[in-house]
Amino acid sequence: MDKALNYLALARKAGRIELGEEPVGAAARAQKARLLIVALDATDHTLRRAKSFAAGTEQIVLTVPFTKDQMGQAVGRTSLALAAFTDPALALAFVKALGQPDRYKAELESLDRRTKRIQQRQQEARAHQRNKAMGVKQKAKKEH
């Protein structure tokens, strides 16, 4: 479980997580949130808000086995009830670190699928850039 909290801290340091209701809502509306997490002791209102942010989208909402104080401490705050991972790979690592693969099976599959799709797009973009650079070099050779 501590490993999962470490992923929260890592995501904050990398700028790949939104913290608090307003930033999470903005990320969800912009379709940038991949995983919304709600503290175990968060109010029902907070959970309803998180679910409404993600309604009608592929964004996942999870109530995690951490208190607001534990989540807050992991990210350098006194308390944190709601957060949103914006990076699917970090979100996937976080859910894996929770250590309950049977409980989070659907979430793990969804995040894994998204992570692979993004990695594929990145590989295609790199290949395109290489091909583009090779084309420029070949064109320059022909002109000489």
pLDDT in tens, 107-137: 888 888 888 888 888 888 888 888 877 776 6
Cα angle at 56 between 50 and 60, to 5 degrees? 50
pLDDT at 18: 95
The string of DSSP letters for 13-79 reads: HHT-EEESHHHHHHHHHTT--SEEEE-TT--HHHHHHHHHHHTTSS-EEEE-S--HHHHHHHTTSS-
Domains (range + CATH), the chain: 2-129 (3.30.1330.30)
pLDDT at 144: 60
pTM more than 0.85: no
- The ranges of the chain with pLDDT < 50 are none
pLDDT at 32: 92
